[in-house]
Structure 1
Amino acid sequence: MTGVRKAIVVGGGIAGPVAALALRRAGIEPTVHEAYGTTADGVGGAFMLAPNGLAALRIIGLDEQVQAIGQPIGRMSIDDPRGRRLAEFAGVPGLAPSRLLWRTELYALLQERLRQEGIPVTYGQRLVGADETPDGITARFADGSTADGDLLVGADGVRSTVRTLIDPAAPGPRNVGLVGFGGFSDHVPAGSPDHDVMHFANGRRAFFGWWTVPEGGSAWFSNLPHKELMTPAQAREVPAAEWLERLREQHAGDAPAEDVLRRARPDTVVNVGSMHILPKVPRWYRSRMVLVGDSVHAPSPSSGQGASLAVESAVQLARCLRDLPALPDAFAAYEALRRDRVEKIIAQAEKTNNEKAAGPLARTMTRLLAPVALRTFLTPEKMFGPVHRYAIDWDAPVTPAGATTAV
């Protein structure tokens, strides 16, 4: 059993609560400290939880609840600018389908589980510093309050304060030159009665994704090229109706994007600002501080793995702390279990971003070559198997060398 008894978790989004729940299962008492003054109910767009993310949630007892509220996606369709299907492929054989859900839904589930477990959550505590001693660490917050523990877990997102405390020279998120959007439309494209298919359309000028929802209508997402960094707050300064008009111009002539966006409702548009990717983080931990989730590995939304990787890392960190009494050993084992996997996925997401931002000629070549590749050598197993089949063996002991791996 680890010598760690109390953990300070900084960040109350997704990775922080999952880390707290996993730490509790590992026998460590966590407290969660959120910078914002209120809960994040109703904030955020849709995202995918892949089979590997669902497997990690099973360890903290939340996979069934997520499957109940999430929309299953069992097939993916690659479409051309006219809405014609170029290729379709199912998920990895033998695995449950991925689930689409809104961030606010997963957030609510996690908050309810924290309450059930009696894990304290405080709001309005923005971390400004940390003081370490041989016996523990004290987190200092902007409101003058403090928290004491044996270690501090940084789950405070891509602009992590904990990351800069660990390494003042640590890189920050890098703008990929795209602004991300999503929303609802009253339009249901013809011939699309199935709700388990996600469509990826490589349009004439831009990428467009969509799926039908059981309640009626369609959900959609797209990107606008924008080289300058735009924060979510800056993006929201532009009226949603204006952004929607720009998207309509970008997808003029694309089917079904043109019709979907024509009947899209401005009040449902979600604007996340510039999409970003986090470069390789040299230091994942120092002394009594360690990073988890987007604070240390943030693939762009193009990966479809952001939330799943955050959940995986939170559970693996708790497992390492459970089995290795010395923090340096636990942190080193955690990094050894995670770094190679997340960096490969981030690299693939960056390649996808480049394809989305490509010019007309490159987009045309992609449309021509993709169907052939998908019908021949790019099977679901080859494309997603190594990522989606990852499953953490919670009961297996962790060694200092990080020899225990997922199966």
Structure 2
Amino acid sequence: MSTTRTTGTTGTTGTPGKALIIGGGIAGPVMALALRKAGIEAEIFEAYRTSAEGIGGTFMIAPNGLGALAVVGLEAEVGRIGQPVGPMVIEDGKGGVLAEFSGLADLPRGRLMRRAELYEVLQRRLGESGIAVHHGKRLVGAEEGPDGVTARFADGSSATGDLLIGADGTGSTVRTLIDPAAPAARYTGLLGIGGYSAHRLSGRAGRGETVHFANGARAFFGYWSLADGSGTAWFSNIPQAEPLTAEYVRSVGMAQWLGRCRELHADDVPARDVLRMADVETMEAFPRLEIMPSVPRWYRGRMVLVGDSVHAPSNSSGQGASLAVESAVELARCLRDLPDHTAAFAAYEAMRRPRVEKIAADAARTNSQKSSGPVGRMMFRLVAPIAMRTFMSPERMLRPVHGYRIDWDRRVAPVRGTSRHGRAA
């Protein structure tokens, strides 16, 4: 068994010398870059044998996520990928507008991008920064000692560092090492299908100025014009009582899934027109749209969780990636400023848990509307216009979420104590 000793020298303030980051998707690389900015070395260990260029669907990085990426020096690069998010228009599936969120004038516009685009930016920056990424390192166990933690991998190798940070997604191995009784990700009751269409929208939508979400008769539909005007990006959230396996979804084939989308949206405008010209070769399926329930233990000893491994809201939040990069940067601040890793982890959890769980709860309610059936969708269409003018106004809905900013230069104060469960008291 090969062993790599990666521990650095612990500073006089207790700042760890090196962290082992498990997971090389989005949160892991941002975590490594933030730690480097904080003066802490890091290495990334990714389970898959190859990098993930070209893999993944489209998501939005909201203004708060863009702010977190700016802290680690990625503002310019991220600003060159994807396309800006204009007003978000909520529709009834019949062409009628229920509400419009124009964003907040003092905040930057979010950006729609393919996961692969952000991944490539992060990999390039990791290389420029000299941060090592090891592939084919599937974590199977970890042992802690007085001076460090050793990660063991399925290929028989191991690595030892001062800290172990789990950025390994909703199926996190680190989460189960911290707490064998930790909850698993929960299926939302929705299947995700998306792709591109040659259909060209008209008006503001055709100029790429708006993003549309329609609560159709039988399924939820989202769409927006591509920045180059060549067509339309689209997705459908299909109610599916039992989760499907990736193998089953592949065996059915994208042509049949496109047929299913066309059937579900046959009476929805403009979904039926977009789907009529959809390119099956561009389609992707996400068979298990998931959400993380509240995780009782975010850390134990020298191990801690970040990103989707501990707080994955449903896709309805538009905040999954943004919250992940926020938490990575905030954890780095805590490790930089506090006297030992236990105090840092406690402050990090106290800082992040209320925010991420509030956003996740709000998104779960939205998700329930998507999968509630025809009666539930009809009720949403009836109450939405009133709600959007009152308690769901853009200022009330967006300000607390999109307006969050990380003050990197402000020192983190310790919390008063921790409970016997390793949580902030």
Q: Same fold (TM over 0.5)?
A: yes
Mapping of residues 222-233 of structure 1, within 5 Å? 222-233=236-247
Instruction: Give the equivalent residue in structure 2 for 1:111.
Output: 123
Instruction: Name whichever of 63-72 and 110-119 sits farther off.
Output: 63-72
Mapping of residues 215-254 of structure 1, within 5 Å? 215=228, 216-254=230-268
Q: 1:277 aligns with which of 267, 286, 291?
A: 291
What is the Cα deviation at residue 176 of structure 1?
A: 1.1
Q: 1:102 aligns with which of 114, 118, 123?
A: 114
Mapping of residues 76-87 of structure 1, within 5 Å? 76-87=88-99
TM-aligned CA distance change 1:220 to 1:81, over 3 Å: same
Does residue 1:71 correspond to 2:83, yes or no? yes
Q: 2:174 & 2:221 partners in 1: Cα distance? A: 36
What is the Cα deviation at residue 352 of structure 1?
A: 0.6
Identity between Structure 1 and Structure 2 (%): 60
Q: 1:255 aligns with which of 266, 269, 272?
A: 269
Q: 2:259 & 2:99 partners in 1: Cα distance? A: 30
Q: Deviation per CA, 1:306-362, whole angstroms, max 9, x where unpaired?
A: 000000000011110001121110100000000010000110111011000122222
Cα contact 2:148–2:162 (8 A) shared by 1: yes
Cα contact 1:336–1:402 (8 A) shared by 2: no
Q: 2:141 & 2:93 partners in 1: Cα distance? A: 51
Mapping of residues 125-204 of structure 1, within 5 Å? 125-191=137-203, 192-204=205-217
Cα contact 1:2–1:323 (8 A) shared by 2: no
Cα contact 1:138–1:147 (8 A) shared by 2: yes
Does residue 1:303 correspond to 2:317, yes or no? yes
Cα contact 2:239–2:370 (8 A) shared by 1: no
Instruction: Give the equivalent residue in structure 2 for 1:212.
Output: 225
TM-aligned CA distance change 1:398 to 1:42, over 3 Å: same
Instruction: Name whichever of 118-127 and 197-206 sits farther off.
Output: 197-206
Q: 2:332 aligns with which of 286, 308, 318?
A: 318
Cα contact 2:89–2:213 (8 A) shared by 1: yes
User: Which AA in structure 2 matches 1:344?
Assistant: K
In the alignment of these two chains, the number of paired residues is 403
User: Which AA in structure 2 matches 1:195?
Assistant: G
Q: 2:232 & 2:416 partners in 1: Cα distance? A: 45
Q: 1:392 & 1:233 partners in 2: Cα distance? A: 41
- Where 2:184 maps in the other structure, the secondary structure is coil
Cα contact 2:15–2:40 (8 A) shared by 1: no
What is the Cα deviation at residue 230 of structure 1?
A: 2.0
Cα contact 2:44–2:132 (8 A) shared by 1: yes
Q: How big is the alpha-carbon RMSD for the aligned residues of Structure 1 and Structure 2?
A: 1.4
TM-score (norm 1): 0.96
TM-score (norm 2): 0.92
- Where 1:170 maps in the other structure, the secondary structure is coil
Cα contact 1:4–1:325 (8 A) shared by 2: no
Instruction: Give the equivalent residue in structure 2 for 1:360.
Output: 374
Cα contact 2:219–2:264 (8 A) shared by 1: yes
What is the Cα deviation at residue 93 of structure 1?
A: 2.7
Instruction: Give the equivalent residue in structure 1 for 2:300.
Output: 286
Q: Deviation per CA, 1:26-66, whole angstroms, max 9, x where unpaired?
A: 11110000000000001000000000000000110012211
Mapping of residues 367-378 of structure 1, within 5 Å? 367-378=381-392
What is the Cα deviation at residue 375 of structure 1?
A: 3.6
Q: 1:24 aligns with which of 31, 36, 44?
A: 36
Q: Deviation per CA, 1:359-405, whole angstroms, max 9, x where unpaired?
A: 222212211221233244532111111011111111111111189xx
Cα contact 1:208–1:222 (8 A) shared by 2: yes
What is the Cα deviation at residue 87 of structure 1?
A: 2.6
Cα contact 2:171–2:184 (8 A) shared by 1: yes
User: Which AA in structure 2 matches 1:380?
Assistant: P
Cα contact 1:152–1:289 (8 A) shared by 2: yes
Instruction: Give the equivalent residue in structure 2 for 1:345.
Output: 359
List 4+ stretches of structure 1 deviating above 4 A. Answer: none
TM-aligned CA distance change 1:20 to 1:231, over 3 Å: farther
What is the Cα deviation at residue 96 of structure 1?
A: 0.6
TM-aligned CA distance change 1:275 to 1:60, over 3 Å: same
Q: 1:71 & 1:142 partners in 2: Cα distance? A: 40
Q: Unaligned 5+ residue runs, structure 2?
A: 1-12, 418-425
Instruction: Name whichever of 1-10 and 385-394 sits farther off.
Output: 1-10
Q: 1:304 & 1:390 partners in 2: Cα distance? A: 14
